[in-house]
Structure 1
């Protein structure tokens, strides 16, 4: 199938509407089919105070779009025979031995019982019992109170993973799905197994070989002038998820380029710490789409992009925030997999593999239509507006 150029033009109009309505300060879209670029556009500003435009070389926080990169790193080590995915994480991080989880109906964090230690596979698929501080629930509240979020300014990865291990799991591993810091923990596993820092491993094994030279945990040298500000429409925390927005649209800046902790990140967050450009991230999605670019086996990637849950995410009783719909959507290793486009209620192909980030960034790979699509903006939380399903509808609607 090919694209109707006139209908692709609707994407730019849609982007401009988001900017004009003060939903996004700026944004960009990059679409490739069969490895060939078919569309790019950028609208708005990367900083509303300075008026600098949101350009193709703008550096953005990709937050949870770091997760697929880290997941590929784990699987590169797994296919070298260094561990099996059913290995307990305590084999690599001893603090996770002798785990406890909340009892059914618990009302306090001390109402726990012994449970199994999560496996690497459960960490990869968000079925480990770990959580995020912005989720509902007792474990999430304990994380919030302890300020456990793997932020760029929160010290070492080793120390933070030990702090996570000290909290009770939200449920017995493998019994539910809850979006979590599990892939941050796997970042520490990569360090233990490889003997390198997470950034050194990713640069040596993935980012460097793919030519993703402007994707790092800290803004690359000379890149501060292209680093975008981060905005929120909320009056309170930018991580308020579905909190009410003011009646009058606002764009409140919550992280300026010249004072951002991403200028010199202490923490290497495998779940949300990378910054980079849209062209860099397309190199990563194209690696996934085309079978590994010699870095990882096509068979391993095929395994990663299959559904690893018993059914869709919704069938596993999640109460958490997620970067994607839950009905009709399965989960692989590092991203979501479309099982039933009708149940997802977004134009899709069977097997679409995708994920997004807290600043409303998004990517997907369509194996049927041979597409790679990357969307960049800088607005948190990503639940603020339905930009992702709208963009998918626009792109499917432009095909003939």
Structure 2
């Protein structure tokens, strides 16, 4: 992704912008460290001293894949959205989709954990319990109703930050007797921290509770997915579907003893695990130039459609001309295909059926011209 110090600095600034725009606070120095590690260096200091001496810069490497593994989990989704071509929302615009997906799940998860697990907020813990709970929940859930309210996330500590002090954020709650006492109690308990006009809601130190916050955030988008429609069908119908599937699978040819095969770093798979399809895909991979092969994540062959392939590129590895190079490899090795799609995230390029030898053969035939075609129907 970079081969010079200037390129590495650009990558670090790009990463910082992606995360900042999604409401995730990850300092530039930590972005630099992550970029260095993703490039194979121990840290930024080592990168600055050695990057100009690298000799393998002509080969692509999975920079973004390594970066996603290195980054704290809350940083990964905004980066993946960026690679997938989605617009990164600006935190100055409350309610935009990516900001909601990147930060709000952690705010909700943190609210549930504090409300259900923090001793000071539990019922029966003395006078002001509801007020203390209301302060913490109110900040995380914007119960003050501020129009310009936008949470931000510190990804390593899972701290959720709100712009403003508690009295500004919760004007109605602040008017109740005992508010200041309740506020000092949650601050002394290490739940809140207020400084420089920012209110931070801190995550519990317990690793198990932090893991639960991550899991709740991870499940957020899954819970928002539309429900799949199901329908009832006669058992005979499903038996007929299974029977047809068995016929199609049997007729596809001899089977490989595996469903997936990792060949030179590319995952190969076949709908019906057909042996000759795996062999053909292996030859395609072997024919790929290094820069193409290192950019491909997987190849799938649709046995039912016959000679129909789907190629998945590694996120961040797409470049101009790459889909066409993949297409040329299939044409060279296989002589053609019934269909080919090359995907990068949510974007894809489709190639129609291509059999050059057949096209050339039929083009050489001098078919007689037909002026009129008359059909006689009895």
Give me the TM-score of the superposition, normalised by structure 1.
0.20
Q: Which has the higher contact order (CA 8 A, sep 6+)?
A: 1
Q: Which has more radius of gyration?
A: 2
